[in-house]
Structures are given as C-alpha cells and as structure tokens.
Amino acid sequence: MSAKTTPLYPLYKGKARTFNFEGWEMPLWFTSIEDEHMAVRTNAGVFDISHMTRTRIEGREAPLFLDYALTAKISGLKAGRLAYTYVLNENGGIIDDGIVFSLSEDSFVFVTNACTHPKLFLTLKQRAKRFPSVRVEQDSENNAMIALQGPNSLKILKQKLSLDMSQKRKFELVTTDSLIVSRSGYTGEDGVEIIGNKERTSELFQAFIEAGAKPCGLGARDTLRLEMGYPLGCVDINESVNPYEVGGERFVDFTKDFVGKSALLGIKPTRRLRGVISDTQVVLRSGYEVTLESGVTTRLTSGTLSPILKRGIALAFFPLSVKAGERGRVKIRAQEVLVSVVDPPFIKK
C-alpha cells in the first residue's frame, strides 16, 4: 500500500528527498538537513506539516468537552489563544500531546501527531458521547498546514501575507482570509503555523520560498526540536509515560475533572526525561544504551547530532536522583563515547 501524500506534495515531488513517515510520503530534506537546520536558526525555513492530524470540535459545550477529554484548561481559554495539552488514558499515560487552537468560544481545532491517528480521533469521539451537542470531526482532509520558522519569518510573513504577527504574543492566533495563523512552532525560533485550504497554503509555501525562506524537511524538523529538548509524540512520549515524567505539570489543570485525573493524583513519579550530550561529534540514536558513572543505565529515546553544537544530543528517562552534569558512556558500535546528563534546551534561545 503506497503512502498518503499531503495537498502540498505536487510542489516538492521530485525536488525533495522523501520518505515514508507514519504512512505519509514526506520530505526528509530538500538540499541537506544541516543547511535547512541552519537556515531556520539564522534566517527562515518553511515546512509542510499537513500530515499532522487536525480535528475540529464545535458546539456550545465544546469547552467543557475539551476540559474533560484533555489535561489543559480549555473553558476560559480566550478566542484567539492556543493551549498545549496532553490527552491521557485512564491510567494517566499520554496518548498524545497536541495544541488546541481556540477560534471562538464554540469552535476549536486540535492539532495532534500523525502517529496517533486514528486512535486519538476515536478517543475524542468516544469521550464526546457524554456531550451530545458537541461535534467532533476530522479536519485534515481538505486543508493543509505549514510552518514558517526563523528570525526572519515574521518579516517574510508580513511581506507575503500583509500580516504583522509581531504584535501578537506567542500562542496567539489570527484568522484571516480563510487562514488560521498562529504564533507558534516546534523549532525554538520565532515563527508561525498556518492552516488553510490547499490552494492558499500552496501559494503561501511558494511565496515564502520566493521571499527567501528555505524549504525544509522533517529531517531538520527533528534536529531543531531536539536542540530545544522538545519531546516527540510516539517516540519520547507514549502511553507508558505520564505528564510528571516529562515535566508537564503545568499543562495539567487539576481543578477540573478530566480523563486520567484520578490516576495522576495517585502517581508518584520515579523518573524524568532529561538530556544527554556527547563530548564529541557523534550521532546519538534512539535505543543506544547510556551508563552513568553511578551505575544507572537507560536507553536513549531519541537523538541526533546537533548541527550547531557539533555534538550528539539525545533524550532519555533517568531516575530522579540523577543530577545535571553527571557523566556517563554510550556504546556506539566499537566505540565508547563520553556523555553528560543535561537539562534541555541544548542551545540557548
């Protein structure tokens, strides 16, 4: 069975090196991961992220439903604001993380990872049963999503869309010209994410490139988010991970009832997701074993080589007793590479 393609695929077919990501044929890189990574850090890059799942939630009781289904407080979230949240199972395990876009007091878009589709959608539908007036619909089919990220991204946006997002704060959005534009992203740089129809979004993707943004693939998206220490759904976080273990208490509102709340209240965390950085230029990868001087061993959940630091960077769960700065070794084929435990971000922003 061949992979799905996004509405933007015709723009980069034959131009990008693509690969199958969660059933989607996505760009891995256009020129090179390092070039694209550096473009985002120093100028601007544009990504097709249409593969991410978008669910539309509508109805007068939508905020109450979302309060129940998710960990973040959504009722009371002003229109035009975003909220990062988890969706937990009954045991407090993270089914997915995602961002709620509040369009109005009865209209929301929830953006989640491609890897949890359709389970996440079916979970929301199931939870919506006790709010029969709420409509939960898949909203990925007929639209696209792109991210424009980098220090010059807002300038390029203003040039090509005549929209000045500099007056908006982080995690605020505007709706304009049938587009949703939010000041958000997954790279650690300033920038926006845009949801819109295929035609408009394709136009913008190309316009941003014309204005100097580099087209970027998921390879750079991964190195960028790792430099910030952002966990990746299905890779670093999954149903065997609870919010405490990823320092996510602030995205959980215990003043309301939500699925997973009672389990969370009974959990005392024993481990935490931390950063690992190598002394030398190596690629740290998911699955590599790290052994600390204290004898603690664990496996890396994700990793890469930081194009900026020229050192391997990774994430891994460690017992709470482990301190930042602790030294260890990672076995990579025939070598033993020296590493340190650190708290992300790996680069200063």
Partner 1 sequence: MTLVPQNLLYSKEHEWLRVDDSQKALCTVGITDYAQAKLGDIVVVELPKVGSRVEFMKPAANIESFKAVSEVYSPITGEVVEVNQKVVQDPGVVNRDPYGEGWLFKVRATKLEEETRLLLDANAYQKLIGEMS
Task: Catalog residues that contact partner 1 under the rule CB under 8 A.
Answer: 17, 28-29, 32-34, 219, 223, 281-283, 304-305, 333-335
Minimum Å gap between C-beta 305 and partner 1 is 5
Minimum Å gap between C-beta 151 and partner 1 is 22
Rank residues 188 and 217 by Cβ distance to partner 1 and give the closer one. 217
Rank residues 176 and 335 by Cβ distance to partner 1 and give the closer one. 335
State how far the Cα of 275 lies from the Cα of 302, in Å rounded to an integer.
Answer: 10
CA-based Rg of the chain, rounded to a whole angstrom? Answer: 20
Rank residues 296 and 309 by Cβ distance to partner 1 and give the closer one. 309
Q: How far is CA 36 from the centre of its chain?
A: 18
Minimum Å gap between C-beta 214 and partner 1 is 14
Residue carrying the six token digits 């992979």: 3
CA distances to 41, 274, 275, 339 from 286, rounded to whole Å, are 24, 14, 13, 15
Which of 282, 264, 259 minimizes the C-alpha distance to 338? Answer: 282
Rank residues 182 and 304 by Cβ distance to partner 1 and give the closer one. 304
Tell me the two tokens of residue 270: 């024993």
193 annotated as a binding-site residue: yes
H/E element, 171: none
Rank residues 17 and 329 by Cβ distance to partner 1 and give the closer one. 17
Minimum Å gap between C-beta 5 and partner 1 is 20
Minimum Å gap between C-beta 318 and partner 1 is 25
Minimum Å gap between C-beta 209 and partner 1 is 20
Rank residues 37 and 56 by Cβ distance to partner 1 and give the closer one. 37
State how far the Cα of 216 lies from the Cα of 12, in Å rounded to an integer.
Answer: 11
Where are the strands (E) in the chain, listed by range? Answer: 17-21, 24-29, 45-48, 53-58, 82-88, 94-104, 107-112, 135-138, 143-149, 173-176, 179-182, 191-197, 214-216, 271-278, 289-292, 297-305, 312-319, 327-332, 335-342
- Residues marked as binding for substrate? 193
Which residue numbers belong to the known binding site?
A: 193
